[in-house]
Amino acid sequence: MSRIYDRVALIGLGLIASSMFWAIKRAGLAGEVTGYARSEATRETARRIGLCDRVCDSAREAVEGADLVVLCVPVGAMGAVAEEIAPVLKPGATVTDVGSVKRDVIQSVHPHIPPGVHFVPAHPLAGTEHSGPESGFAELFDNRWCLLVPVEGTDPDAVARLRALWEGMGSNVDEMEADHHDLVLAVTSHTPHLIAYTMVGVADDLRRVTDSEVIKYSAAGFRDFTRIAASDPTMWRDVFLTNKDATLEILGRFTEELFALQRAIRTGNGELLHDYFTRTRAIRRGIIDAGQDTDAPDFGRAKAKS
């Protein structure tokens, strides 16, 4: 893979930025990669582990001369960072982000982008429950989707170049409109995270009754919830505050369905429960057949097809 940008600047050196750095280096997609993190401790860690070719002590220093600037901070901090770097953005450069919410990021970042600089919002649908500069790895984006959410009138060449970067980092790339993105992600990621946080919170509330049995006898379902509920609190606080409408819409539907299932349990309506679980099982099999679950073990595929 050949070089796509001469200079890339990563602002916020956590899971996503560090994974981008290693993925960019793996494929030789950029000349120099600079980085900036707000805390001195993070910058020191980055220097120690060789994360970024040059770690800078200010966001402006990292951004100066960059052809691509990637905002990798929590969604609620995107606007302030964009405002801070705006005066030093190079004419013709592209600013992008990796935020989990798109409408709010566009509204807070776009007004700060000077004329002659391109803005192409993006969202890699790949992550883990870990955060910080040491959590990244080059393979994070392999065979995962990255959604580009360009605002109307964006230079197609700037979009094509960013697409090439994400493809070079191993992703499949699609384009999507911002509100649609936020609704889809409310269903597939944001509400599920909220449910996981809630379920682990409920288990914790019950701790006095169950002692440590909840942890000791954790079955796979609860373990999955605890993994997700270990995700970064700042990042997820910002996701819910900025994707409020879509999350509330999906939560409303979720609670309606939950009450229907609750009623079926209370009234002993086994047929309803069985029909419901049959429908949801088909959805899981559809995901596996479409090759969308790259984590699924092979026996899962074999079973799904039988």
Ligand X SMILES: O=C(O)C(=O)Cc1ccc(O)cc1
Q: What is the dihedral of CA 174, 177, 181, 184, to 10 degrees?
A: -90
Site string for ligand NAI, 86-105 (x = CB under 6 A): ------------xxx-----
Closest CA to 133 of 238, 1, 44, 7: 44
Buried-state track 207-234, b at ≥16 Cβ within 10 A, e below 16: eeeeeeebeeeeeeebeebbebbebbee
Partners of 11 in the β-ladder: 36, 71
232 near ligand NAI, judged by CB under 6 A = yes
170 near ligand NAI, judged by CB under 6 A = no
Options 69, 109, 194, 228; binder of ligand X; rule CB under 6 A: 228
Closest CA to 89 of 58, 120, 68: 68
Q: How far apart are CA 186 and CA 246, in angstroms?
A: 6
Contact partner, 178, from ligand NAI, ligand X, none, Cβ < 5-8 Å per class: none
Q: How far apart are CA 23 and CA 124, in angstroms?
A: 13
Contact partner, 247, from ligand X, ligand NAI, none, Cβ < 5-8 Å per class: none
* Closer residue to ligand NAI (CB): 13 or 173: 13
**Both structure tokens of 84:** 């801070």
CB 185, min distance to ligand X, A: 7
Options 117, 128, 230, 285; binder of ligand X; rule CB under 6 A: 128
Options 12, 35, 79, 150; binder of ligand NAI; rule CB under 6 A: 12
Residues at the contact surface with ligand X, assessed by CB under 6 A: 100, 125-129, 189, 228
Residues at the contact surface with ligand NAI, assessed by CB under 6 A: 12-17, 37-39, 42, 72-75, 77, 81, 98-100, 124, 127-128, 131-132, 232, 235
